[in-house]
Amino acid sequence: MDVAPSDTASWPDALFDLLKAHHVRQVAFVPDAGHSRLIRRCQADPAIKAISLTTEEEGIGLLLGAWLGGERGVLLMQSSGVGNCINMLSLSILHRTPMPMLVTMRGDFGEFNPAQVPMGNATQAVLEAMGTLVRRADHADDIVPTADATLRLAFNTFRPTAALIGQRVLGAKTFGKE
């Protein structure tokens, strides 16, 4: 059973519109239920290259190359994938490359899986320790303004940025029936 707030229906579509407004041409992702609607929208748009990754760290290199090739990109991932990117995040700092990330959170509000809690608890601190500017949205109405600020920061300051989309917005999953 999934417990999800009722106002989650429109924010993935609004994020898609925001990516288009920021002229994002590449979207790298490891398949994630929290981003599934946004991923489908990106895959359906012929102007966007939606690239499925085997690990999130590949997205750092891919988006660095996209930027060097003249295209803007965004990395979509779940908080558990942040741990896979730690070493690679230094590339964005060293090469002054925009690296906007939209991160769906696990391991925080109402989490059922104890294995998700350590990284969910550490995500923001880990990103900030690696020089990433982090903003967080815990309400559906905050997602688009937070993502917009994150994209602007990345593309205007040439550094890694992350918008964390809290589990309170996504809804907490549970083991079976309650």
Residue 129 has pLDDT above 80, yes or no: yes
Quote the pTM value.
0.91
Average of per-residue pLDDT across 139-146: 95
In tens, the pLDDT along 146-155 reads 999 999 999 9
Separation between Cα atoms, residue 123 and residue 173, nearest integer Å:
19
Separation between Cα atoms, residue 52 and residue 29, nearest integer Å:
5
- CA separation (Å) from 115 to 65, 102, 112, 167, 168? 33, 21, 9, 15, 18
State residue 174's pLDDT score.
65
In tens, the pLDDT along 60-96 reads 999 999 999 999 999 999 999 999 999 999 999 999 9
Instruction: Identify the structural domains of the chain with CATH numbers, from first to last.
Output: 2-170 (3.40.50.970)
